[in-house]
Amino acid sequence: NAGVMQNPRHLVRRRGQEARLRCSPMKGHSHVYWYRQLPEEGLKFMVYLQKENIIDESGMPKERFSAEFPKEGPSILRIQQVVRGDSAAYFCASSPPGQGIGQPQHFGDGTRLSIL
Amino acid sequence: DQQVKQNSPSLSVQEGRISILNCDYTNSMFDYFLWYKKYPAEGPTFLISISSIKDKNEDGRFTVFLNKSAKHLSLHIVPSQPGDSAVYFCAASNFGNEKLTFGTGTRLTIIP
């Protein structure tokens, strides 16, 4: 999974603080996806971005969560005013440009977010 | 609404034998299916995929079978090796909508 880089690997925040999770896609990949995994569950889609555009944010909670993928730099998933229920593993994936079908997404090793 | 289901939370298989992992889906719009393998504290690793125009895809020890009428797919691993011990996730998407819908995973344990 070295191709997709996520940092930090572990993040501890107190309730009410902000959490920023970063993701650098694999070289040559312009599509970025964020997923969340709660304990003992599968991954749940949150948002799909291309450079400077949010393509699909149907899985994002309506409040406190935002994502961006600027022209330069990594994609950022931002959680404001964190609550205990935000504790989870957050995974970023990337895929190359082109049609979606037949293009597997490749995942990073995730950020484990813990809320005290 | 769990659109992708993996009904076996765990599976134990003797080394050298065949491992069969199953996955069912309910959304008939899904036309692309993938299997990922996940070790603890790591991200999912892509294993193999299949599109709905096929019923079988093979890559080394891994074969995925798709039965569209039954909305069922399976992953066969033969022969099973100790390094195959991991959690396996089935995922699905439909053309034009790139988000993946994941099952809850099956923990495979290969017994030496």
pLDDT tens digits, A39-64: 878 899 999 999 899 999 999 999 99
Whether residue B44 and residue A107 make contact (CB cut-off 8 A), yes or no, is yes
pLDDT of the residue at A104? 87
* A40 and B CB contact within 8 Å: yes
User: What is the average per-residue pLDDT within A61-89?
Assistant: 96
Tally of CA atoms within 13 A in the half-sphere of B47 that contains its CB = 26
Which of A45, A92, A106 to probe the B interface (max B CBs under 10 A)?
A45
pLDDT tens digits, B28-49: 999 999 999 999 989 999 999 9
Q: In angstroms, what separates the C-alpha of B12 from chain A's closest C-alpha? A: 18
Q: Identify all chain B residues contacting A88, using CB atoms and an 8 Å cutoff.
A: none
In terms of C-beta density within 10 A (0-12 exposed, 13-18 middle, 19 or more buried), how is residue B62 classed?
Answer: middle
| Residue B28 near residue B45, CB atoms below 8 Å | no
Helix (H, G, I), strand (E, B) or coil at A85: helix
Residue B90 has pLDDT above 90, yes or no: yes
Task: Tell me the CA distances in angstroms from A17 to A67, B20, B90, one per residue in order.
Answer: 17, 45, 35
